[in-house]
């Protein structure tokens, strides 16, 4: 009979509760797979007396994470809190030579490099499948399944909250604020949705994927990030008229010796795969040198999909430990060969530009002149009927490819003219 691997679980919230349930429901199948038993030895909770959806033996409960980490019965630490102390807990566990599983994308996106190096130094492993796209095994595919490929690009919907909001707006459910409120009522958006709607959640996930796929060491702060807060129903309608659908995409592409990495709203052709990923679902498209295009689709969040990813990591670690294999963290260590993240200002894209223009002769010519000064050529123009109350005309311009820096300078120049009401809005266009 195989050995027993003691597990210390920090956090029994939504995901932690799902992990406990899976460990309780399928111990035999896990033992057959790994040759070892995974046994909960300690569980850290904030409130020892709180009733729990998934029952946990009261004798295992503690409020002291450091006591759990130092417990000799615990060989594997599973951190599922996202608490400010998570770095301290994980680093302490690794220093003790204990394997760690975490879903903490924010921590890995900012301080992953030092944690991976610490794990290697101490002969421990750090697994993190649940940190990106919940139940979609994208990290395992990039690290193992596609290891024979040079990844050329990846593009994905990595945030279910924003995808739900944009899906509902596309279906005519209301404006941004109203749709966000509905998402919060359904539990699809947090009371403070800033991390999601700003695009930062997706940027943190993209930083992790870029490290694996492109050997970058940049943090989420180095990834260009723009959220969906300024998307309006008229943008949805104009996009439809032009044959596009608006999605918040996380995009990474090789560009020479660098990688462009960006998160922002994108107009994609309505027949494209990404345009047809709806509600809270996630999808990631990876282009590899040998396999071509691969698509991964599923639930990116939720209790059981995320818990499934956590337990998959636990099972892999148990398998490795029982077989005597060493840590698998070596592929996460990047030295002098690190790939730089490209300057967003040099990225060339097509643009949708929407403005409320004064209804008088020569206005379109003035706008065209500003764009021409930045070598931005116009592909098409849509001019709607005059607003009878305001005396302005909705003007839609679609451009050919142009550098981001030039478009930003053009927007600043347009803002200094007296021919527009308010600020011109821009959404980038991807052919996919």
Catalytic residues: 205
d(CA 215, CA 157): 21
- Using CA atoms, how far apart are residues 305 and 298, in angstroms rounded to an integer? 9
Instruction: Tell the burial category of 165 from Cβ atoms under 10 Å away from its Cβ (0-12, 13-18, 19+).
Output: buried
Q: How far is CA 25 from the centre of its chain?
A: 30
d(Cα 34, Cα 30) in Å, to the nearest integer?
A: 6
| Vertex 104: Cα angle to 10 and 51 (nearest 5) | 35
**Which residue carries 């695009």 as its tokens?**
199
Angle at 248 between CA 270 and CA 426, to 5 degrees: 85
d(CA 64, CA 153): 43
Please report the DSSP string for 170-215 in residue order: HTT---HHHHHHHHHHTTSS-SS-HHHHTSHHHHHHHHHHHHHHH-
Going from the C-alpha of 384 to that of each of 32, 218, 362, 388, 390, the distances in angstroms are 66, 43, 16, 12, 14
- Closest to 397 measured CA to CA, from 371, 375, 415, 423: 371
Cβ-based neighbour number of residue 96 at 10 Å: 15
Question: Which pairing describes strands 340-341 and 258-269: parallel, antiparallel, or unpaired?
Answer: parallel
* Best CA proximity match to 94, nearest among 295, 374, 327, 308: 327
Task: Output DSSP code: residue 89.
Answer: H
Name the one residue in this structure whose structure tokens are 């040759």. 35
């Amino acid at each position: 009979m195989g050995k027993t691997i003691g597990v210390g679980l920090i956090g029994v919230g939504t995901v932690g509760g799902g992990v406990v349930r899976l460990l309780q429901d399928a111990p035999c199948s896990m033992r057959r797979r790994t040759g070892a038993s995974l046994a909960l030895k300690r569980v850290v909770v904030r409130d020892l007396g709180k009733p729990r959806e998934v029952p946990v033996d009261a004798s295992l409960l503690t409020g002291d994470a450091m006591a759990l980490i130092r417990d000799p019965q615990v060989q594997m630490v599973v951190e599922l809190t996202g608490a400010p102390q998570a770095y301290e807990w994980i680093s302490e566990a690794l220093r003790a030579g204990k394997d760690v599983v975490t879903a903490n994308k924010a921590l890995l996106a900012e301080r992953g490099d030092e944690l991976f190096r610490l794990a290697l130094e101490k002969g421990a492993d750090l697994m993190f499948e649940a940190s990106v796209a919940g139940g979609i095994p994208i990290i395992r595919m990039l690290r193992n399944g596609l290891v024979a490929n040079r990844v050329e690009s990846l593009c994905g919907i990595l945030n279910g909250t924003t995808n739900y909001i944009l899906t509902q707006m596309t279906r005519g459910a209301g404006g941004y604020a109203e749709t966000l409120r509905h998402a919060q009522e359904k539990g699809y958006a947090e009371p403070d949705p800033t991390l999601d709607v700003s695009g930062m959640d997706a940027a943190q996930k993209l930083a992790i994927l870029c490290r694996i796929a492109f050997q970058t060491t940049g943090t989420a702060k180095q990834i260009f990030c723009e959220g969906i807060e300024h998307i309006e129903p008229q943008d949805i309608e104009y996009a439809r008229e032009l044959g596009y659908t608006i999605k918040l995409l996380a995009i990474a592409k090789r560009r020479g010796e660098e990688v462009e990495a960006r998160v922002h709203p994108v107009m994609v052709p309505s027949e494209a795969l990404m345009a047809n990923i709806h509600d809270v679902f996630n999808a990631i498209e990876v282009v590899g040198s040998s396999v071509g295009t691969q698509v991964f689709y599923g639930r990116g969040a939720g209790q059981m999909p995320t818990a499934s990813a956590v337990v998959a990591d636990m099972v892999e670690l148990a398998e490795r430990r029982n077989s005597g294999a060493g840590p698998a963290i070596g592929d996460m260590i990047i030295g002098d060969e690190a790939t730089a993240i490209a300057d967003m200002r040099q990225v060339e894209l097509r643009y949708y530009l929407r403005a409320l223009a004064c209804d008088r002769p020569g206005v379109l010519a003035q706008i065209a002149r500003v764009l021409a000064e930045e070598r931005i050529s116009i592909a098409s123009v849509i001019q709607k009927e005059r607003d009878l109350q305001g005396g302005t005309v909705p003007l839609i311009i679609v451009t050919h490819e142009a550098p981001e820096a030039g478009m930003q300078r053009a927007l600043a120049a347009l803002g200094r003219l007296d021919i527009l009401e308010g600020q011109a809005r821009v959404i980038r266009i991807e052919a996919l």
